[in-house]
Amino acid sequence: MRAISVSAIDVGTVAVDVSNVCRARALPQPVGLHRVDLVLEAWRDQICRHADVFLVADDSLLPELERVSAADVARARRMQASGELLVVPVRRADDVLLDCAQQHGACVLSDDGFRDKRRDGRPAWLWKAERFFAWEVHEGAVRIVPRPSRHTRSYDISRAIEQKAIRAAGITKAHRHVLGRRWACVSDVPCVTREMTPEVLQVVPAIHEGVPCCPGCGAPLRDRGERLPEAEFKVAVGGETQARFTLRQGRPLTFGRLTFPDTAAFAALASKGAFDGVGRRHVELRREADDVHARPIDDRHAVRVRPWDKQRKRLGRERELPARCFTAIGLHDQLLLGEHVALQRSGRSIAEAAELDEGVGTAPWQQAGTDEPFEVHAER
């Protein structure tokens, strides 16, 4: 065994996403194992001559190969029998690849970004961009290239997780209308989903034989009417998400210390000064059609915005929003309040977070230790 620390990246070991490579349209010829041969040859030529290779395929690949080439199927079965190729269920394939990278320090060869896996609690060192490789074809020659090290926005991660949940729930294009309505579980059996969200389900419904059903108890759901456009926001303090809330069309809300959750975690942050400069009623938010607008409530509490720079794929330089005016906020922009608080849209299209209730949660810590007068109603 080579003595490597697992957090190091070992280009001499590579885990290959075989189904992904076989289906890669950029590679020559139709779907098949010859594409795996091409990328491995390129890896050995360009990255490491004596690489150890882990081949992982999901079990949806074999039926697909069957339609294309009997020889490929026979070869895949031989490789599987000899242990050269690991065939695992579709839902486990990504995990097996990532386990391999985690346990052996291996690189991963795939054009998948594994975005829906990034919050599964794996160590941060695993996700170093230098570990992930894909391929390009130039004038017929295959070149191994670092996977485009696109800044992975947390928005994209939550969107990918939600898309996966939607697929797992059996919602296909034919059922898309289900996502445009609000649903409630009204079953008589014990159901945690119903108890957690008695009014309206805040998770993706499951589809059974075309009927929207409760993902908790499986009972058919009751239609509670149209789902108005909504946006889920994350409240980050020092870069860490601490809370979430939902903004609905037609229901503007005022965000500030008065709307912070009354939890021990928030009280502890407050005592460290995390909310210095955040007003009790700091910014008004409203959702109209596809846009979110923000309005700083007064001159004393500035709201800064860091707009997302599409070209450079990162947040741009911050600027202050004009006081008392509504300004449209881009999907990926960040709003900054005080010294440490940032508000940002989550990638979820179905908000899971509760709506904010204005004027509640006036815990003692929300009033003490600030530069403002103690009276709660001073600003109203």
Residue count, binding to Zn ion (CB under 5 A): 8
Q: Find the part of the chain contacting Zn ion (CB under 5 A) among 132-140, 143-151, 161-169, 181-189.
A: 181-189
SS3 of residue 377 by DSSP: helix
Q: Which residues contact 63 (CB under 8 A, 6 or more apart)?
A: none
CB of 187 to Zn ion, least distance (A): 5
Strand partners, 276: none
Q: Are 56 and 100 spatial neighbours (Cβ–Cβ below 8 Å)?
A: yes
CB of 203 to Zn ion, least distance (A): 11
CB of 354 to Zn ion, least distance (A): 19
CB of 351 to Zn ion, least distance (A): 19
**C-alpha dist (Å) from residue 246 to 12, 123, 137, 223:** 47, 30, 45, 20
CB of 352 to Zn ion, least distance (A): 16
- State the Cα torsion 123-124-129-135 to the nearest 10°: 30
For residue 9, which of 191, 175, 132, 143 has the smallest C-alpha distance?
Answer: 132
Pairwise CA distance, residues 63 & 73, whole Å: 8
CB of 341 to Zn ion, least distance (A): 36
Q: Find the part of the chain contacting Zn ion (CB under 5 A) among 108-116, 138-146, 193-201, 295-303.
A: 193-201
Specify the residue, 194 or 287, whose C-beta has the smaller distance to Zn ion. Answer: 194
CB of 205 to Zn ion, least distance (A): 10
Cα atoms in the 13 Å half-sphere on the side-chain side of 146: 8
Q: Find the part of the chain contacting Zn ion (CB under 5 A) among 55-63, 117-125, 178-186, 255-263.
A: 178-186
Structure tokens at 325: 């005016």
Q: Find the part of the chain contacting Zn ion (CB under 5 A) among 3-11, 17-25, 177-185, 345-353.
A: 177-185
Per CB under 5 A, the list member of 21, 191, 258, 294 interacting with Zn ion is 191
Using rule CB under 5 A, residue 201 touches Zn ion: no
Specify the residue, 207 or 217, whose C-beta has the smaller distance to Zn ion. Answer: 217
Specify the residue, 205 or 216, whose C-beta has the smaller distance to Zn ion. Answer: 216
Per CB under 5 A, the list member of 20, 158, 193, 344 interacting with Zn ion is 193
CB of 59 to Zn ion, least distance (A): 31
Pairwise CA distance, residues 195 & 206, whole Å: 17
Per CB under 5 A, the list member of 93, 214, 236, 356 interacting with Zn ion is 214
Using rule CB under 5 A, residue 216 touches Zn ion: yes
Q: Please enumerate, as own/partner, the contacts of 63-68 that have beta carbons within 8 Å and a separation of 24 or more.
A: 64/22, 64/23, 64/31, 65/22, 65/31, 65/32, 65/33, 68/30, 68/31, 68/32
The residue type at 97: L
For residue 210, which of 194, 221, 198 has the smallest C-alpha distance?
Answer: 221
Using rule CB under 5 A, residue 270 touches Zn ion: no
Using rule CB under 5 A, residue 204 touches Zn ion: no
Q: Please enumerate, as own/partner, the contacts of 281-284 that have beta carbons within 8 Å and a separation of 24 or more.
A: 281/254, 281/255, 281/256, 281/379, 281/380, 282/254, 282/255, 282/256, 282/257, 282/337, 282/338, 283/254, 283/255, 283/256, 283/335, 283/337, 283/343, 284/252, 284/253, 284/254, 284/255, 284/326
Angle at 211 between CA 208 and CA 214, to 5 degrees: 70
Using rule CB under 5 A, residue 38 touches Zn ion: no
Using rule CB under 5 A, residue 287 touches Zn ion: no
Q: Find the part of the chain contacting Zn ion (CB under 5 A) among 78-86, 186-194, 242-250, 325-333.
A: 186-194
Per CB under 5 A, the list member of 185, 270, 303, 342 interacting with Zn ion is 185
Specify the residue, 195 or 357, whose C-beta has the smaller distance to Zn ion. Answer: 195
Residue tagged 């996502």 (tokens)? 179
Specify the residue, 191 or 305, whose C-beta has the smaller distance to Zn ion. Answer: 191
Q: Find the part of the chain contacting Zn ion (CB under 5 A) among 49-57, 172-180, 188-196, 285-293.
A: 188-196
Give contact residues for Zn ion (rule: CB under 5 A).
185, 187, 191, 193-194, 214, 216-217
